[in-house]
């Protein structure tokens, strides 16, 4: 099937997509905006409209991300409208409704509450709001406090914390890279405040670059994306920065990995005014590993990491929000000058990113937002002794504009456009010879339009169309027409539902990283002459609902996905042909994800269980046959069963907060070694071979064996100590409490008598301690 359209057709379709819809309210309605006394928009506030003449006539709504709400089809009469939000005093006003739309501006005063309760309630209200308002998308959210309660490796890691969500798997303990529902790791879009971050990992993938003190929440969108989403086919992980509350404060911490500090505050009121702002807040942080500094008096340690992150958020008197986010991080490994090191090398890699967004609310719940961003990742690896250098780089600059309109209480229409310019290059040179080199650029233009219709009681239907146009250089332009649909049928009091969603998704970049290798960095390439785009068709169906006073949530979701145009590195490429560096293939996945979650009570947490099957088909280069036949196999991230239990509980004993994470799952695939043989190399000057003092392997069918069942139990204990100047939280985290030897990989030794198989395990029992300070 051809996916190509002419540019004229693309533009024509784009115009059709963004053409406004006409609609008019037929009955009385109440709409408005809720904000704090300081001018901050209050998203997720509850709005209750109760008829004074008949207290059983009640309508409910929640404010959207810009603080707007709308209650349509209101019978004329006199009502009491109450706006509530955790942390604020309720606001009550009397409203007289006739056949027109009543517009209100509600200002809530701040009320002191316990912070933990506020966050739990805020998360729960967001989950409820999403459940009611979105038809198809699968979203799981983890708040910062929940992240910190999940036992982790050395320190809280926002990306590692999502490993415990349904449908999310990892190949090993060593890599924070994750796979969602049978997709490869490069099919996950990772956004920091809507700025894409490429290869967001320190230490070759062991930790993510995100400092948990700067993160408000992480939200994983695992499937059923409406038309507004594009760019990756498997998932979107949104990491949202916490801009603080505007009050000056400091959060600092030290772990076995690094020390860190985050400072937040607001601009002086006079400066806010000069900038045209009603209110502002900012937060900046810095983090650095310290081991090299600690041991410097005695010896040199060759590695360190640094990162800095900042966010500024300003609100105009009209309610518009301006947000600036910045990130810069670097890892440096330098053993070029360490003693008698036979392999002197220097390796530096890291990210830089900046984003600017403007969100403007309009009357009736409509809104417009515009954003621009720049992001880049680069790595430079150098073997200094032999003048060998491997470098890789990817960068993206983009802009988006979205417009959302609510013509009636039932209809929601959203459209948008985006443009992004990407570039990549990589190259390996040594001793004057270029062993591999590639570079390319691409311009991506996207437009979408989606309509949501809410019947008011039982049905929520979303449909949309997205066009993704890609102009690579070198390469031919392609356009993906991506229809999306979602249907949700509610039951009961809109607390249970069945939903069905599907659509087509496309992706125009890939990573050449060998996922079979435990650690490593991404080598990005763009679709074009070298690599195809990925087109993925997906369908998913779920049964889900809240119960137990909305304290509990359960969902069961099945899905099927195809992947056309996936790639892998071509180890048998022609050195003289720049266009055969990758092998092209396809694949599919299907599975079932179950989640039961408890959001309130002394013990909170969830259990998730995922069943997955996925396969990939590529040319079989180990067949010896030219041209190679195809081989179909499960990729290394095909973990058939993956069960996670996450619990958090306040203990009466010493006021400790306890966290637990248990993981149980089937082993991942590997290629069995059937035999080994002596490694000879050809010597052209002699016309003979020589023994290279090494062994080569004869392999069985690709990934036809599996490592044993993998399981692990992690625990954490945190103790909050309140002091006059602030608070301290010392913590203990123990990874792999019972020291399970999960297999990282096997070594086969057929030269031994008898032949043996040994191995290396993943992370053994590893206790770590740390301290967090806030004032």
Partner 1 sequence: MNPRPIARRAGALGAAALAGCALLDVRIADPEDVIIAEVQVLLTHEWNGNGTSFEAGALLHRTFQREETPTLRGSTVVISEPTKGSVRLEERRDVEECVIPSPQGRDSIPGELAPNAVCYRANVALSPFDPGDRLSLEITAPDGRVLVGSSLVPGAFDLVELDEEDGRCRLDPDTNYRFQWRFAENAWSYLADARLEGLRLPMAQRDIDSPDTLYLLGFAIDAEDSTLVFSSEFGIFEFFAATDEERDVIRELRRGLPGGVGATVAMAAADRNWVNWERGGNFNPSGEVRIPSVFGDGTGVFSTATRRVVRVRATEFRPGAPPLCGPAVS
Residues 393-432 that bind partner 1 (CB under 8 A): 426-428, 430-432
Per-residue x/- track, 603-632, partner 1 (CB under 8 A): ------------------xxxxxx------
Q: How many C-beta atoms surround the C-beta of residue 612 within 10 A?
A: 25
Q: Which residue has the tokens 């204990």?
A: 717
CA distance 20 to 403: 10
Q: Which of 70, 14, 126, 11 is nearest to 367 (CA)?
A: 70
Residue 756: CB minimum distance to partner 1, A? 4
Residues 6+ away with beta carbon under 8 Å from 538: 223, 224, 233, 502, 503, 504, 505, 559, 560, 561, 562
Residues 518-537 that bind partner 1 (CB under 8 A): 518-521, 523
Beta strands in 316-410 (DSSP E): 321-334, 345-361, 367-383, 388-405
582 binds partner 1 (CB under 8 A): yes
Residue 347 touches partner 1, criterion: CB under 8 A: yes
CB environment 98-137: b (16+ within 10 A), e (fewer): eeebbebebebeeeeeeeeebbbbbbbbbbbbebbebbbb
Which of 681, 722, 725, 738 is the binder for partner 1 (CB under 8 A)? 681
Count the neighbouring beta carbons within 10 Å of the beta carbon of residue 688: 9
- Looking only at the bridges linking them, the beta strands covering 101-108 and 28-36 are parallel
- Residue 60 or 519 with smaller CB distance to partner 1: 519
Residue 94 backbone zone (phi > 0: left; psi -120 to 50: alpha; other: beta): beta
Nearer to partner 1, 205 or 314 (CB): 205
SS (H, E, C) 162-221: HHHCCCEECCCCCCCCCEECCCCHHHEEEEECCEECCCCEEHHHCEECCCHHHEEEEEEE
Using the rule CB under 8 A, is 678 a contact of partner 1? yes
Q: DSSP characters for 572-588?
A: T--TT-TT-SEEEEEEE
Query: Rounded to whole angstroms, how far apart are CA atoms 310 and 352?
Result: 12
Q: Which of 249, 402, 761, 774 binds partner 1 (CB under 8 A)?
A: 761
Min separation Cβ 732 and partner 1, Å: 20
Least Cα distance to 500 among 512, 490, 486 occurs for: 486
- Least Å from the CB of residue 198 to partner 1: 16
As to burial, measured by CB atoms within 10 angstroms (0-12 exposed, 13-18 middle, 19+ buried), residue 584 is: middle
- Does residue number 705 form part of the binding site for partner 1 (CB under 8 A)? no
Give the residue, chosen from 291, 435, 491, 547, that forms a contact with partner 1 under the rule CB under 8 A.
435
Among 487, 600, 697, 737, binds partner 1 (CB under 8 A): 697
Q: Any residues with CB less than 8 A from the CB of 458 and at least 6 apart, and which?
A: 489, 490, 491
Per-residue binding string, partner 1, 502-521, x by CB under 8 A, is ----------x-x-xxxxxx
- Stretch near partner 1 under the rule CB under 8 A, chosen from 48-56, 287-295, 609-617, 751-759: 751-759
| Closest C-alpha to 285, from 245, 230, 244, 317 | 244
Give the rounded distance of the alpha carbon of 622 from its chain centre.
Answer: 35
Query: Which residue among 291, 491, 547, 680 contacts partner 1 (CB under 8 A)?
Result: 680
* Residue from 495, 570, 617, 632 in contact with partner 1 (CB under 8 A): 570
Q: Does 381 bind partner 1 (CB under 8 A)?
A: yes
Task: Determine which residue in the list 673, 717, 735, 773 makes contact with partner 1, applying CB under 8 A.
Answer: 673
Rounded to a whole number of angstroms, the minimum distance from the CB of residue 542 to partner 1 is 37
Q: What is the 3-state secondary structure of 284-311?
A: EEEEEECHHHHCCCCCCCCEEEEEEEEE
Which one, 410 or 570, has the nearer CB to partner 1? 570
Rounded to whole angstroms, how far apart are CA atoms 480 and 626? 33
Q: How far is CA 626 from CA 14, 572, 621, 701, in A?
A: 45, 11, 9, 18
Least Cβ distance, residue 174 to partner 1 (angstroms): 6
Which of 19, 694, 709, 771 lies at the binding interface for partner 1 (CB under 8 A)?
A: 694
* Among residues 1, 24, 53, 685, the one that binds partner 1 under rule CB under 8 A: 685
Distance, CA of 185 to CA of 592 (rounded, Å): 19
Exposed, middle or buried, 427 (CB in 10 Å: 0-12/13-18/19+)?
middle
* Residue closer to partner 1 (CB basis): 435 or 547: 435
In the stretch 195-224, what mask flags binding to partner 1 with x, by CB under 8 A?
---------x-x------------------
Nearer to partner 1, 204 or 730 (CB): 204
For residue 622, the minimal CB distance to partner 1 (Å) is 7
Residues from 440 through 479 that contact partner 1 (CB under 8 A): none
Which residue of 50, 306, 695, 774 would you call a contact of partner 1, by CB under 8 A? 695
The Cα angle at residue 519 between residues 310 and 586, in degrees rounded to 5: 100
Any contact of residue 704 with partner 1 (CB under 8 A)?
no
- Taking CB under 8 A as the rule, does residue 434 contact partner 1? yes
The binder of partner 1 chosen from 476, 675, 709, 723 (CB under 8 A): 675
CA angle 67, 73, 79 (to 5 degrees): 70
* Nearest-approach distance from CB 703 to partner 1, in angstroms: 11
Question: Nearest approach, Cβ of 410 to partner 1 (angstroms)?
Answer: 54
Task: Determine which residue in the list 576, 652, 724, 738 makes contact with partner 1, applying CB under 8 A.
Answer: 576
Count of residues near partner 1 by CB under 8 A: 106
Report if residue 337 touches partner 1, rule: CB under 8 A.
no
- Residue 670 CA to residue 69 CA, distance in Å, equals 53
CA 723 to chain CA mean position, Å: 36
Q: Is residue 500 near partner 1 by the rule CB under 8 A?
A: no
Q: How many CB atoms lie within 10 A of CB 577?
A: 9
Nearer to partner 1, 176 or 595 (CB): 176
Closest to 520 in 3D by CA, of 101, 51, 148, 177: 177
Give residues 91-130 in contact with partner 1 (rule: CB under 8 A).
Answer: none
**What residues from 722 to 741 belong to the interface with partner 1 (CB under 8 A)?**
741
- Does residue 748 bind partner 1 (CB under 8 A)? yes
The span from the CA of 715 to the CA of 738, in Å, is 11
Residue 257 found at the interface with partner 1 (CB under 8 A): no
Least separation, in Å, of the C-beta of 186 and partner 1? Answer: 15
User: Which segment (239-247, 252-260, 305-313, 758-766) binds partner 1 by CB under 8 A?
Assistant: 758-766
How far apart are CB 236 and partner 1 at their closest, in Å? 28
Task: Look at residues 105, 148, 146 and name the one whose alpha carbon lies nearest to residue 122.
Answer: 146
CA 675, CA 700: separation in Å to the nearest integer?
9
Whose CA is closest to 492, among 421, 425, 543, 430?
543
| Nearest distance, CB of residue 679 and partner 1, angstroms | 6
Q: Which is nearer to partner 1, 337 or 574 (CB)?
A: 574
Q: How many CB atoms lie within 10 A of CB 276?
A: 12
**CB 743 → partner 1: shortest distance, Å?**
7
Measured from the CB atom, is 291 or 775 closer to partner 1? 291
Q: How far is the CB of 172 from partner 1 (least distance, A)?
A: 8
Instruction: Give CA–CA dist 424/509, Å, rounded.
Output: 10
Q: Is 299 in the site for partner 1 (CB under 8 A)?
A: no
713 belongs to the binding site for partner 1 (CB under 8 A): no
Q: Which stretch binds partner 1 (CB under 8 A): 214-222, 605-613, 676-684, 724-732?
A: 676-684
Pick between residue 54 and residue 385 the one whose CB is nearest to partner 1: 385
- How near is the Cβ of 748 to partner 1 at its closest, in Å? 4
């Amino acid at each position: 099937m051809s996916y190509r359209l002419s540019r004229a057709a693309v533009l024509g379709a784009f115009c059709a997509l963004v053409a406004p819809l006409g609609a008019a309210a037929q009955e009385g309605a109440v709409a408005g905006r809720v904000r704090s006394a300081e001018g901050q928009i209050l998203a997720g506030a509850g709005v209750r409209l109760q008829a004074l003449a008949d207290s059983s006539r009640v309508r409910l709504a929640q404010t959207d991300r810009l603080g707007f709400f709308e209650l349509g089809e209101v019978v004329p009469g006199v009502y009491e409208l109450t706006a509530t939000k955790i942390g604020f005093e309720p606001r009550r006003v009397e409203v007289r409704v006739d056949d027109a739309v009543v517009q209100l501006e509600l200002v809530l005063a701040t009320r002191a509450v316990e912070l933990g309760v506020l966050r739990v309630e805020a998360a729960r209200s967001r989950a409820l709001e999403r459940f009611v308002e979105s038809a198809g998308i699968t979203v799981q959210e983890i708040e910062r406090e929940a992240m910190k309660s999940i036992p982790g490796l050395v320190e809280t890691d926002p990306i590692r914390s999502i490993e415990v969500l349904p449908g999310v798997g990892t190949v090993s303990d060593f890599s924070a890279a994750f796979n969602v529902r049978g997709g490869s790791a490069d099919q996950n879009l990772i956004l920091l405040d809507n700025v894409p971050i490429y290869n967001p990992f320190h230490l070759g993938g062991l930790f993510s670059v995100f400092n948990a003190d700067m993160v408000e929440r992480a939200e994983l969108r695992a499937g059923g994306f409406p038309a507004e989403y594009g760019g990756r086919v498997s998932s979107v992980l949104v990491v949202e920065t916490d801009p603080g509350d505007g009050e000056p404060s400091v959060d600092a911490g030290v772990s076995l990995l690094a020390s860190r500090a985050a400072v937040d505050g607001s601009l002086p009121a006079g400066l806010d005014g000069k900038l045209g702002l009603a209110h502002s807040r900012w937060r900046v942080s810095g983090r650095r590993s310290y081991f090299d500094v600690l041991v410097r008096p005695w010896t040199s340690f060759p590695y360190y990491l640094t990162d800095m992150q900042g966010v500024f958020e300003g609100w105009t008197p009209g309610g518009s929000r301006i947000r600036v986010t910045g990130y810069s991080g670097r890892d440096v490994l330098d053993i070029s000058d360490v003693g008698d090191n036979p392999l002197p090398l220097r390796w530096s890699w890291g990210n830089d990113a900046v984003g600017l967004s403007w969100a403007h609310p309009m009357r009736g719940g409509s809104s417009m937002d515009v954003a621009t961003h720049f992001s880049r990742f680069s790595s430079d690896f150098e073997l200094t002794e032999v003048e060998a250098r491997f470098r890789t780089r990817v960068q993206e600059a983009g802009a988006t504009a979205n417009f959302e309109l609510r013509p009636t209480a039932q209809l929601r229409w959203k459209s948008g456009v985006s443009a992004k310019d990407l570039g990549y290059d990589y190259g390996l040179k040594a001793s004057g010879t270029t062993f591999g080199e590639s570079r390319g650029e691409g311009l991506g233009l996207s437009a979408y339009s989606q309509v949501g219709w809410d019947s008011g009681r039982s049905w929520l239907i979303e449909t949309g169309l997205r066009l993704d146009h890609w102009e690579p250089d070198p390469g031919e332009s392609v356009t993906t027409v991506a229809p999306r649909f979602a249907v949700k049928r509610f039951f009961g009091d809109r607390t249970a539902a069945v939903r069905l969603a599907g659509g087509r998704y496309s992706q125009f970049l890939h990573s050449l990283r060998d996922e079979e290798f435990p650690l490593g960095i991404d080598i990005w390439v763009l679709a074009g002459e070298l690599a195809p785009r990925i087109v993925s068709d997906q369908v998913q169906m779920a049964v889900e609902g809240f119960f137990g006073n909305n304290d509990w949530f359960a969902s069961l979701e099945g899905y099927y996905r195809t992947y056309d145009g996936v790639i892998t590195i071509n180890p048998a490429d022609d050195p003289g042909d720049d266009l055969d560096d990758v092998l092209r293939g396809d694949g599919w996945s299907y599975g079932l994800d179950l989640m039961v979650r408890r959001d309130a009570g002394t013990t909170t947490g969830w259990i998730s269980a995922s069943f997955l099957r996925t396969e990939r088909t590529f040319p079989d280069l180990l067949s010896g046959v030219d041209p190679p036949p195809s081989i179909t196999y499960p990729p290394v991230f095909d973990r058939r069963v993956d069960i996670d239990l996450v619990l958090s509980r306040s203990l009466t004993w010493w006021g400790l907060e306890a966290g637990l994470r248990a993981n149980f799952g089937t082993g991942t695939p590997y290629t069995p070694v059937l035999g080994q043989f002596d490694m000879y190399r050809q010597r052209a000057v002699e016309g003979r071979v020589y023994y290279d003092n090494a062994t080569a392997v004869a392999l069985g069918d690709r990934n036809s064996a599996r490592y044993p069942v993998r399981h692990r139990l992690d625990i954490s204990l945190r103790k909050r100590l309140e002091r006059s100047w602030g608070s301290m939280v010392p913590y203990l985290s123990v990874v792999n409490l019972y020291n399970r030897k999960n297999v990282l990989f096997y070594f086969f030794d057929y030269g031994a008598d008898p032949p043996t198989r040994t191995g290396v395990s993943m992370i053994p029992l590893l206790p770590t301690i740390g301290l967090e300070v806030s004032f």
